[in-house]
Amino acid sequence: MYERLGKRLELEDITDTWGYDRMVVSPDISRPGLCLSGYTYKFMHDRIQIFGETEITLLKKLSPQEKQAAVKNVFNFPVVCSIITKGLTPPDELVSASQSSGSALFVSPQDTTPLIHDLTDFLSEVFAPHVSLHGTLVDVYGEGLLVMGRSAIGKSEAVLGLVERGHRLVADDLVRVRKTGNRLIGSGDAMLGFHMEIRGIGFVNIAELFGVGAIKEMQSVDLVVRLFDTDLDDEADRSGLIGKHMSIMGVDVPMVEIPVLPGRNITLLLEVAAMMNIQVKDTGSTSAERLNRKLIARMGRKRLRE
């Protein structure tokens, strides 16, 4: 965690790498003020402890013996690690107790409330439920399209066409999707980066070829597009009236299925699918549903005239 968060929170280790083997097991944080005062019942020692101005001021008002007793109330437990905010100087008793217990102690110049918000956001992201899916995720007009289908059906080639049109690649081949509340956020594999495998060409670095404007670190998953093989269009829904969804970690995501046939411009169809999904969000209905209502109304008027 320190490697990923140390620079972001400007953390300075003052215990000389003690306690780095301890695991953070909760996305929540704790303020140990009550525990310092002697109330240790239900002390959440498995959370990261935040020593702000309140806690440090409390310790400084105590005698040396009282300080030792207060910090022992905290570090008698296997505390994961502690962070002192606002660049405050920790009492020697606090540093000594932290080292003796094998718990890491950090100091950050950042204010307490912003640091807690930043830390909580980071931990919530790390501990969010997640799943890895085979597909390609691309940002099209702000909509996250998760393009799926069998291997070699042309997912990467179609998305490469979208990138050439000015849209942004998020992940290719392996998409890591995490659940935050009722939203799904997709990102790529750190090792793969923003590379795409194009059969016949090999691996293509999208950022190098198209610039950093062609890539995006993460994106919500708003629409699943499944590409499938077919010899006839009859297998696909032609009307667009049958709403389909794909459940990902309990979240139903709208899904469209596009048959892959010779001569079809899949890149263009993906763009249209994204625009139609935006339209549904804005109007609450699809073009097919609105057309269907018009046809039904027209038939109703015709019957009345008869």
Compute and round to an integer the Cα radius of gyration of the chain.
Answer: 27
155 is catalytic: yes
Question: Per-block average pLDDT, block size 10, for the chain (306 residues)?
Answer: 80 78 87 93 92 94 93 93 94 91 92 94 87 94 94 90 95 92 89 85 91 94 91 56 82 91 90 87 66 66 63
Q: 121 and 139: one domain?
A: no
Residue 179: domain span: 129-290
Q: Which of 238, 302, 303, 305 is catalytic?
A: 238
pLDDT at 212: 93
Q: What is the pLDDT of residue 118?
A: 92
77 & 144 share domain: no
Write the CATH number for 22.
3.40.1390.20
Q: Are 20 and 111 members of one domain?
A: yes
Residue 246, by phi and psi: left (phi above 0), alpha (psi -120 to 50) or beta? Answer: beta
Spot the catalytic one: 13, 46, 118, 173.
Answer: 173
Query: How are beta strands 48-51 and 29-30 bridged, if at all?
Result: parallel
- pLDDT of 191 reads 79
Are 71 and 59 contacting, i.e. CB atoms less than 8 angstroms apart?
Answer: yes
Tell whether 301 is covered by a domain.
no
Which neighbouring-strand residues pair with 245? 254
Residue 111 a catalytic site member: no
Q: What is the pLDDT of residue 112?
A: 94
Angle between helix 64-75 and helix 53-60 axes, rounded to 10 deg: 140
Domain end residue (candidates: 101, 126, 151)? 126
Residues 110 and 205 in one domain: no
Catalytic residue among 47, 67, 139, 155: 155
- CATH number of the domain to which 133 belongs: 3.40.50.300
Q: Which residues pair with 147 in a beta bridge?
A: 136, 225
Same domain for 230 and 111: no
- 158 and 271, same domain (yes or no): yes
Q: Say what the pLDDT of residue 108 is.
A: 94
For the whole model, what pTM was predicted?
A: 0.69
Catalytic entry in 8, 134, 165, 298: 134
**Domain-terminating residue out of 104, 126, 148:** 126
* Rounded to 5°, angle at Cα 11 from 7 and 15: 135
Phi and psi based region of residue 284 (left: phi greater than 0; alpha: psi -120 to 50; beta: remaining): left
Is 77:103 a contact under the CB 8 Å cutoff? no
Counted domains in the chain: 2
231 in the same domain as 108: no
| CB-count burial class (<10 Å; 0-12, 13-18, 19+) for 222 | buried
Active site residue 134: yes
Question: Phi-psi region for residue 219, left (φ > 0), alpha (ψ -120 to 50) or beta?
Answer: beta
Are 104 and 204 contained in the same domain? no
Query: Do 117 and 202 fall into the same domain?
Result: no
